Amino acid sequence: MNSQYIITNEELAIQGLDLNEYVLEGTFINAIIMKGLNIVVDRMLQIGDQYKGIRGIEEYLGTDEERIESFKHAQYLVIYNLVFMNESEPVDRYVDGVLVHQLGCKINNLQKGLYYKNN
């Protein structure tokens, strides 16, 4: 995925989550960031079938700053959940809210019932 769509530790630090404070000497920072990215991409592909893989998500994000910021915000929420909350289920209703309401993901029919039940 294009690096402009991936949140950096510097951007996380601006939002109050500097991974250098929680990871031993910065050894796993990139792994945590990539894990967050993969979870967000997987969730987008799960709830919205209009994307045809990572390339489809990149095409959707394009150069639209609002979409890119929303995508990065979803990554921030997932990484925050991975570090502080529930490592086994880092996607919560706030992440889904960002993906659906801010980023504009359309929920496919299979997921609509589950989404509205949980949110």
Distance CA 56, CA 73 (A): 19
Question: pLDDT digit string (tens) for 44-75?
Answer: 998 877 888 899 999 999 999 999 999 999 99
User: Could you tell me the pLDDT band of residue 119, with boundaries at 50, 70 and 90?
Assistant: low
Q: What does the pLDDT read at residue 42? A: 93
Question: pLDDT digit string (tens) for 12-46?
Answer: 999 999 898 877 666 789 999 999 999 999 999 98
Find the angle CA(94)-CA(48)-CA(85) to the nearest 5 degrees: 25
Distance CA 4, CA 28 (A): 20
